[in-house]
Amino acid sequence: RVVDPQRRMFDVTTTSSTGCRVAIITSRTSDGKACVLANYRGMGQREANAAYEFLVPKTADENPHVWKVFFRSKSLPGFGALQDGGVRANNPLAIALKESVVIWPSAKTHDLLLSVGTGSFSSVAKPIEGASRILQDSAIPRMIRATMSSPCMDGEQGFHEALNFVPDVERSNIFRLNHELPEPLPRLDDVSKLEGMSKMHFTVPTELVRTILATAFFFFELDELPIKSQGVFFCKGSVLCSRSYSRDLVKLVMVEFPGARFEMARGQRLGDIDDDDGCRVCGYYRKKVGFSINGLHEMTSIGIAGSSFFQRIGGFPKSVQELLDDQQANSHFGRADHLVTSWPPKRNCYCSPRAKRHIKFLEPALTHKKRRL
């Protein structure tokens, strides 16, 4: 059994805020336009005249059971014939940037964008003299060369072209992993090259490892409303971890960031990373921090810092007002996402209520009042 018999092609899975969104790029054979098949819809709005089309079924006929179309390589009911998206967007970086805004409309920018290549080979064409040059420079050969080296077909060129439209301040968290090969790329079915290519040495950049550890796993939330005193706002909150195996992540952070601590972008220290206020039993991570700002709309950042490095954690840079909006602290009549309103937010570990928790911080004791039955 390959798939659920009742599963349809465009069914959207139930995902949490940290769930996995998957988008597959294809293109129409009729006009070559890039199309997106995804397991999400997104909260933001897409432009009607966008350079790509997000495929969404409008009728039941356009959303067939998966088993009916599983072995069809081209055609989907209502959408026509589709082909490999690599002939239109071999490197869909530009599409990924736009879709991230649709998925997380409140985010100012991405935390991390990683583009993975399948190998590249740089060659400089040598000029040809004589009669052969006339044949090489005719219309059809020139069209083939231009197509194969265009951003549509060449993933490396597509990456650099999309990067031209990204502001400089957002480029620090964009990485491209690719391997420079000493010879032209082999054919996909050339298995004789597998052994030699598997022995090629490749190292992941240290900057990428540090960025992943900081931005992909740690984030900040306010624990209470800011308090204004003597012209400044005092803020209290918690640095949290999005994974339950936070203890292993902290160990990795201490290896990659010797002497790591949380710190504001302007230098205010917030405490060591490995000295947290979480639970040692279930792995819940919480680092209570406090800092001051001049105004609620002042842009700020929290990051992992040391003597010679600073790497922002997920969600920054951002103002405190944006943090309040993201947490819907002022939603007096219920949240837009219909989740249970909880302000100030409750900080509970993953242990069951009856389990004995080894927690270093003390929560306020519940007040017991006698009530008349």
- DSSP characters over 114-173: EEE-S-B----PPP--THHHHHHTSHHHHHHHHHHTSTTT-HHHHHHHHHTTS-GGGGGG
229-247: pLDDT as tens digits: 999 999 999 999 988 889 9
Q: 348: closest CA among 297, 298, 281?
A: 281
> Which pLDDT band holds residue 363 (cuts at 50, 70, 90)?
very low
The answer, yes or no, to whether the previous bond of 317 is cis (omega within 30 of 0) is yes
Portion of the chain with pLDDT greater than 90, in percent: 32
| Total residues found in the chain within this entry | 373
Half-sphere exposure of 50 (CA within 13 A, CB side): 17
Q: Is the pLDDT of residue 357 over 70?
A: no
Confidence (pLDDT) at 176: 92
- Summary mean pLDDT of the chain: 83
Annotate 183-217 with b (16+ C-beta within 10 A) or e (fewer).
eeeeeeeeeeeeeeeeeeeeeeeeeeebbbbbbbb
Q: Is 357 left (phi over 0), alpha (psi -120 to 50) or beta?
A: beta
The token pair at 239 is 């640095």
Cβ-based burial of 225 (10 A; exposed 0-12, middle 13-18, buried ≥19): middle
Q: Give whole-number Cα distances, 156 to 10, 92, 153, in Å.
A: 31, 11, 9
Selection from 53-62, 147-156, 222-231 with the highest mean pLDDT: 222-231
Q: Is the pLDDT of residue 108 over 80?
A: no
> Which pLDDT band holds residue 310 (cuts at 50, 70, 90)?
very high
Residue type, 254: M
In angstroms, rounded to a whole number, what is the distance separating the alpha carbons of residues 303 and 298?
A: 16
Confidence (pLDDT) at 322: 92
**Chain centre distance of CA 172:** 14
> Which pLDDT band holds residue 172 (cuts at 50, 70, 90)?
confident
Confidence (pLDDT) at 189: 86
Mean pLDDT of 215-242: 94
> Which pLDDT band holds residue 366 (cuts at 50, 70, 90)?
very low
Contact 265, 256 (CB under 8 A): no
> Which pLDDT band holds residue 15 (cuts at 50, 70, 90)?
low
Cβ-based burial of 260 (10 A; exposed 0-12, middle 13-18, buried ≥19): buried
Selection from 71-85, 109-123, 135-149, 354-368 with the highest mean pLDDT: 109-123
Mean pLDDT of 179-186: 84
In the chain, DSSP assigns E strands to 23-28, 34-38, 52-54, 75-76, 80-84, 113-116, 174-177, 218-222, 227-229, 232-241, 261-264, 269-272, 286-293, 299-300, 302-305, 310-312, 318-319
Confidence (pLDDT) at 70: 67
Confidence (pLDDT) at 364: 46
259-268: pLDDT as tens digits: 899 999 999 9
> Which pLDDT band holds residue 36 (cuts at 50, 70, 90)?
very high
Mean pLDDT of 343-364: 65
Confidence (pLDDT) at 177: 92
Parallel, antiparallel, or unpaired for β 23-28 and 34-38? antiparallel
Q: Is the pLDDT of residue 75 over 80?
A: no
- Of 80-89, 128-137, 304-313, the one with minimum mean pLDDT is 128-137
- 150 Cβ neighbours under 8 A, 6+ residues apart: 157
Contact 217, 187 (CB under 8 A): no
